[in-house]
Each structure stands twice: as C-alpha cells, then as structure tokens.
Structure 1
C-alpha cells in the first residue's frame, strides 16, 4: 500500500520527464531549479562542523540558455560519493555538481560546471551506469542511432550504434551473469540489450519506446508512446496493458508486497498506479494533487535521508508528494507461504473463466439461431416445412481457412480468409495489431455476399506479429443468424513481405549484386530449412532444399525476394541482413560468426555520406567565424550609435542604428545557415550510424564488436576506404 508521507510545492512548473533526484539535489526541467533541502546537513556531517541555515539556500537556479531534453544524476568519481547533475540539450552534455576545483571535496557554495561536452550525434536521453570491462562509471547519452558514454574528464569511453534515435536507456543484469547490461529503446519500436558493443537481443514492440525502468535484477518495466506498458523478465514478456490515459512517468520499485515487486505508472490525468510486477494487477491508486495535473516524474529514493526509500511524485505544476510503502503483514505472511503456487493457480482460474465465458457466448448465439429456425418452421403451413440440410449448420473451426501471400507488385502481403461451408458468407472482419495498423485495428465490410475476403497488409519492419482476428459470419448480408469466429493469435511471420519464386518467375526479377556469405558446418541444413519454414511464407509446391537453398561443401547461400525490394542472402540492401543475426543465434546456435559481404550501392553511398560530413564540418567552422564577426561588428555599431546620442549627433546616430539593424539581420541569417547545416549533419550522421549498425548485425560475438570499434575509429580519421573494408571483410587489419 502507498501511504502519504509528505508533500510540498516547488513554486515553479516542471516540464514533463525533465526531473531527476540525487543525494545532493533534486532538479526540474526548463531553467534548472535545484532543490537541496539537506545539502548543508550532509556537508556538516561529512566535515564534522556546524553550518548555520542560510535563507533560500534550498532553492537555486541553473540557467543553461539551451533547450533541455534529458537529465540524470550519478557519481562519476569512484573515490568520492558526490553525485553530479547531468543536463542534456540537443547538442551538448553539461555536468554540474558540488565539487571544488580539485574535484575531490564537496563545496555547496562553489557549485560549478564540471564539463560542457559537445555531442556530435545529439542527446535524446541519459542514463548512468558501469560497464564491467571499463570499470569506471559513465554517463551514457542516447543520440541519433548511436549511444555514447563519457567519464569524469568528458572523454569518450564507450560508443555503439542502435537501429534508430535512442529514446530510453537503463542498466540492469539482463542475462543474470552478475554484470549489468545496457538496455536501449529506440524509435524503431525495438528494445536492444547490449553487453559492451555486442547486441545480445532485439525485442520488438508495437510502438516507439518511451521508458525502460529496472524493477528487480533482470525484471524491468517499459512503456510505449501509444500508451501501452508492461513488464519483461529477461526476454519473456510477463504482461502488458494499455490505459485510456497517456503514460508520463514510470518507475520500478524493489519492494516486496504480497510476494511481488511493483511497477508505478504516472498518467496525464495526474493518477499514479501501483501494479504487481508478475501479473499487472492493480494494487493501489492515488493522485499527486486534486487538480489532476499531469505527472512529471516518479522516483523511488530516500529523500528524507531516514534509511528507507519513499516514492516521490512530481506533477507539472511543481507539486511534490511523498508516499511511504507498507504491506499488510497478515496477508503478506499467508501469501508468502504459498509463493508462486497461488499466483499460478489464480492465473489458471482467470484463464479458465475467460475461456468459459467465450464458450457461453458462442452457445448462446447458436441457441438463438436454433430458436429462430424453430419459430420459422412453426409459422410455415403443415407439409411445407423443409428439412434442415447439413449446410445450414454453423461452420466449425476447420471450415475457416487463413492464408498469406506476398505480392511484390503491390508491395503488400495479401491475407485471405475463406469459409468452406455452403450457404455461409463473411459479413465483416476485424483485425487488431498495433504495428500493422495505424489505428491499432482494421475492419472490412464486404458489400456483396462472399465467402472469401482478401486484406492487404504491410509491415515496415521484418518482425513476427500476433494478429487478433474476429470474423462475423452469417447466412446472408441481412440475415439475423450470425456466428463470430475469434482467432486470437494468428501469426504474421517475420518475413511475410517476402515471396518465394519458382523457376518460371526468377526471370522476371533482376539478380541482386549484393551478397553475404558465411561458413558453418554442413549438418545444419535441416536447421536452415526449419528457420525458413517458420519465418517465410513458402510455396505449396517444390522441394525447399533444392529450390531455396544452395549449398556446396561448407558454403551456404539462401535466396529469396522481398515484396518491397530484392532481398536475399545474396542481399540487395545491407539492412536486410539483420535477419541473419536471429537466424544464426536462435536456429544455428552460433555465438561467434565471421562473414564477408559485398554491397556496391551501399559502399558508394558510404563515400557520399563521408563527403557530406566533411563538407558540413567545414561549413560549421565557416558559419561560426561569420557569426563571431557579425557580433563584433554589431558591438562596434552599438557603441558608435550610443556615442552619437551622447553628443546629440542625431544624423550619425540614425546611420549607426541602421548599421546595427543591418548587422543584426546578417547575424540572424548566418545563424539560420548554421542551424540548417547542423540539421543536415545530424541527418547524415544518423544514416552513417545506421549503416554501421546494419554491418555489425551481419556478424556475431567479437566480430560484431570489432565492426563497431573499427568503424568508429575510421570515422574519426574520415577514411572512407578503411570503413568500406571494415564493412566488407569485418576488419581493416591485415
């Protein structure tokens, strides 16, 4: 249970998500407000001195003059316990803390900027943690398709690439090996788990990742931009739900209530919910303030320095509410003895109830249909009653067929639903999936009587999806007799957008120039067949081994065509090789994989991107010099204008102020040029980072990490030939 412990007001609005808490400060977004109610007491205790309370020392402001997009806090100096505030803007990372000049002694009177680092890939989100191989704690910034880690001296100690703009970062022991891994959520609907530069797992979701928060060990909660939230235990999703209000804050609580830990969710309505981590059951609900202002952030921290953490919630109006966690001791002891057995039994009872309720509705529908037919028979004259034939009986589950086939001409995958029961037609079909449909669902209402419906589907990503399908069937469009068939987990295969080509169709398509080749043992052919059948829509005819897979000695080549572009292993686009990682790790059980590849069009594009980056960097220097010159000229003209005013020389004053206006216009123009150049540079770097990510996905283990490290080194020296060699051979070393 959550019991109110304290509340107060900051007196300033708090931007959504832009707040953080630490041992020396609690902060808010926008112009940074630093609230340190116990700072003096902490310093006095550490130095065994008395400090008189100073007026208004609890509140201080830090003006960054930049748009703040992310905040975090942590101790970068492992020798001291002093925490630093990290403020991320679109282009810079500011470290601010209560360190003296030698960075060893805390000094609340001399808070200062520790470093202000320009981050070329931008900053979208921040997290604080330690990579075991590095040893020292790092502040990690998620940017445009990249993740960068900095130490206390603002030196880059970690860099890797991700699939899209990073939106959420969190450290936790995902594989339960005793060392923390980095979890990164991005705009391409994926949660990726990194052990150093190596990607261990890619978890696909249905929308952009909003938050990732550790709950306990390898258990973490997450939320998506579309309002969905849930919990994972490692790679297994325990549950997920979607509320009517948008999620604005999320925090995991490592506090055992009724044998489960907690996930706390804050909403735009100002409501805070506490849910059990294993089942998602609602345990408690409260509000920060009765006005219903959106929740800005939620923390689990010992704010009052009493040795016990509290839940601290902040809304966008600056209202702060502290909640203490308590448990019902008698109930907890009773449930703790049963442990997981009670949870499993409760879940089984709930599932059985849902299934029985579904069967009840189906039986009630059939009963109504039988009653209607009986009434119709009674209304007919005697002797004219027709005997009910077998085709008037409701169709069974085996009478409804689902099939898929990719169509390269329309760049879609056609789903066909057919009823093989005479006299029955499809009245409507409803499909539900957040990734396939923008509005999360899609409905089809045939205008004519038909027993077959074709629905075009298009997936922008190669991922396996579970589609919820409901088919409304009847004996006619206007008939009152109907039956609903529910297919809750129809599998949309990972490569459903690919089509198998027979011998007669191969001449219609140009053979791709690109290819990826790797070496493995000949005995894994059957595993390749199993993977292909599970991931692709296969033709009903033809020998799969002979038609789709070519192998000679220890070399294996897979060939298939994408509905949107040609995409084999012979591959026409490097991004298509991402499926190779899932294929090798899950089906071939390979942990280390070297491969060679050839991507002529991608390598040409790589050279163009590096040329654009070099040009943008040169223009950046040029525009900065022009802006500096304009500022100096502006200062000179202002001084001249003021001097003319002092000697009452109105004509000269007018001329000088006209020059001020002209220089100001030129300054604004140069700034706009620099801003546009920066946006172009960010877009180019995003494309380059995506290429590095795709190239690394064609390898596994140490080979994957080597790709990222050598590509980063080559980018710093701007050597396109070296990067091309890394992409193709896996290394630039001889």
Structure 2
C-alpha cells in the first residue's frame, strides 16, 4: 500500500506499507462529527481485516475473517439507526454470504447473512429533509452480490428492498440526495436508483471499474450537488448527471483500465480535484472551474493535469459516449 500525503508546501510524502497478503479491499475511516481518535485506513485481505493508524504507524485492531472480505464500506451509523441516534461510525465488511460490522475499537456490532458473495457495499444516511419527504427514515445499508441482487437493509434482519439485476453487482456509491445511489454491473451496465426505483441506466461494451460521487461545479453554492463519476476498463472516465444519466464530461486517459477514481484537495486549491489512477500507476487530475464567458453563457470546464505534458483544457461535454448500448 502506498500512502501519499499532499502538503501546502507542494511536497508529497509517500509511505509504503507492506501487508504481505493479497489486498482485496481498502477504505479510509475518517472521524464522524463528535468522534475522537485518529483517521484510519482499513485493509482487507482474503482472511483478515485490520484498521491502521497512519500517523502512529500501528494497527488499531486486527480481526481474522475466515469467510474473507471482498468489499468494505464506512457508515456514520449502524444500519437501522436514525440520524439523531448516533452511536458512532462503523466499518462494514462483506465476504462470502455475510456482512460484519466493527466499531473503532474492533468490537463486532453488526452481522447479517446474504445470498451470495458480497461484491459491493454502501451506506445511506438520510438528512432530516430526506426523512420527512422520502422513503428511508433511518440509515440503511446497500449490498450488491454475485447472485445479481441489490439488497437494501435497515438492520440485521430487516430487508427494505430486494432488487434483481442482470448481472453481478460490482459497484455501489451513495449520491447524497433523495436516497439515490449509483450502481455498476459486471456486464457493463451503470445506472442510478432512488430508493428502490431505477432512474436511468446505460450499458457499455466495457465493464465499469470504479464509481465515485463527485461535484463538477466550481461555484461554492453548487459543491453539494453530486454527480456520478465512472471509471471504465477501457481507460475512459465520465461524469454523468445523477437524475438523467446525461454525460457532463468524458475523457480517455489511456488504454489501461482505471483502478480508482477519487476526489480530494491535492494541490491546495479551494475546489476538490477529480483524480484517476490506472492499473499501471499513472495518475491524472482534473480541476473544475468556470470558463471566462459572460454570465449568460457560463459553463464549466475541467483542467486536465497530465503527468508529463503541459496542462490542457477540456470543455465539459453533453454528448453521449460512442460505446453506449441499449439496455433491454
């Protein structure tokens, strides 16, 4: 594991962590509001789960996981808890036909069974407005499995919805609005649900490799509006509007599959950048910013920072990608 720490001085500290086992999932565990303790890095393997304190270079806890861990998610509260109940954040680990949850001390606080191997996990914690206007009044857990199912759980034994898809569910991401979440399937389908209602989906000849909730809006009052960023196995990165699936931005960064898509303040600017890394370790970054146009014509562009070449600018595009296929 390589841990990169950007600093305001422009220098980047790189720490190498040797796990000595094949890593199956990673998750960053930041403190929730009111919690104490360090930010943690959760590392899953085929037989264990550990929480690592990066600053102190030590394990906070280590748990044997005989059923393996194939997916991790950090939740602000246990599934089934209301927004005011608290209880602290937990790490949820999905393996072969089960999901376990652990608190920051490593104590097991959640356990439930699934129909098949867990491929993706995500938690939804509704805002006060969502609790009043929309379906879920408590924190829920979304689980994607190898048997083509998306299950929405409001507790260890309470299934809110059970959705059958067309292939294994490999990716899930919360979009932070009206209980919406994005999903990706092994057959190249991506889409968005609002609760148990599908809003849209598209299918590509290539499989999605990663999903991210990202705001491409440079204006501060629009930063809370999250869209769906998608990394593909053919090296393409897209941003799609969460309500309709319309393409806001796309760029092919190279021929190699994308291993991850993240957003963070990496270069000391007020707007988080979009970053991709491919399986060969090449990193690309884009920064949302307004164009120099009149207010009536104002649009957005993303500055693309190449590893070697000078910066170039790409306009956000609303064109559909050429490899979109109809979904039956």
Give TM-score scaled by structure 2 length.
0.76
The equivalent of 2:280 in structure 1 is 317
132, 144, 162: which one aligns with 1:185: 144
The equivalent of 2:296 in structure 1 is 330
Say which SS state the counterpart of residue 85 (structure 1) adopts. strand
Q: In 2, Cα distance between the equivalents of 1:97 and 1:208?
A: 33
Say which SS state the counterpart of residue 175 (structure 2) adopts. strand
- Report the structure number with the largest CA radius of gyration: 1
Residues 155-179 of structure 1 deviation map (CA, whole Å, 9 limit, x = unaligned): 1011111221111011114693264
Q: In 1, Cα distance between the equivalents of 2:202 and 2:118?
A: 23
Please list, as runs of the form range in 1=range in 2, the aligned pairs for 1:10-29 lying within 5 A after superposition.
none
68, 82, 86: which one aligns with 2:38: 82
Residues 125-152 of structure 1 deviation map (CA, whole Å, 9 limit, x = unaligned): 0000122356111111011111101112
- Is 1:265–2:265 an aligned residue pair? no
User: Shift of residue 286 of structure 1?
Assistant: 1.2
User: For structure 2, which runs of at least 5 residues remain unmatched after alignment?
Assistant: 132-136, 300-325
- Is 1:70–2:30 an aligned residue pair? no
Q: In 1, Cα distance between the equivalents of 2:61 and 2:149?
A: 32
Residues 392-433 of structure 1 deviation map (CA, whole Å, 9 limit, x = unaligned): xxxxxxxxxxxxxxxxxxxxxxxxxxxxxxxxxxxxxxxxx9
Say which SS state the counterpart of residue 58 (structure 1) adopts. strand
User: Shift of residue 224 of structure 1?
Assistant: 0.2
Q: In 2, Cα distance between the equivalents of 1:267 and 1:307?
A: 28
The equivalent of 1:138 in structure 2 is 90
Say which SS state the counterpart of residue 152 (structure 2) adopts. strand
Say which SS state the counterpart of residue 263 (structure 1) adopts. strand
Say which SS state the counterpart of residue 163 (structure 1) adopts. strand
Q: In 2, Cα distance between the equivalents of 1:330 and 1:162?
A: 52
Cα distance change on mapping 1:209 and 1:331 into 2, 3 Å:
farther
User: For structure 1, which runs of at least 5 residues remain unmatched after alignment?
Assistant: 1-31, 42-52, 99-107, 334-432, 435-467, 469-734
Say which SS state the counterpart of residue 296 (structure 2) adopts. helix
The equivalent of 1:286 in structure 2 is 251
Q: In 2, Cα distance between the equivalents of 1:112 and 1:220?
A: 34
Say which SS state the counterpart of residue 162 (structure 1) adopts. strand
Cα distance change on mapping 1:157 and 1:331 into 2, 3 Å:
farther
93, 106, 109: which one aligns with 2:49: 93
The equivalent of 2:163 in structure 1 is 203
- Is 1:194–2:153 an aligned residue pair? yes
The equivalent of 1:298 in structure 2 is 261
Cα contact 1:216–1:254 (8 A) shared by 2: no
- Is 1:122–2:68 an aligned residue pair? yes
Say which SS state the counterpart of residue 330 (structure 1) adopts. helix
Residues 410-458 of structure 1 deviation map (CA, whole Å, 9 limit, x = unaligned): xxxxxxxxxxxxxxxxxxxxxxx99xxxxxxxxxxxxxxxxxxxxxxxx
User: Shift of residue 81 of structure 1?
Assistant: 6.3
The equivalent of 1:693 in structure 2 is none
> Which 4+ runs in 1 deviate beyond 6 A?
none
User: Shift of residue 261 of structure 1?
Assistant: 4.5
Cα distance change on mapping 1:304 and 1:189 into 2, 3 Å:
same
User: Shift of residue 75 of structure 1?
Assistant: 2.8
Aligned pairs, number: 278
The equivalent of 1:154 in structure 2 is 106
Cα contact 1:76–1:151 (8 A) shared by 2: no
The equivalent of 1:244 in structure 2 is 205
Cα distance change on mapping 1:114 and 1:261 into 2, 3 Å:
closer
User: Shift of residue 248 of structure 1?
Assistant: 1.1
Cα distance change on mapping 1:301 and 1:307 into 2, 3 Å:
same
Larger strand fraction of residues: 2
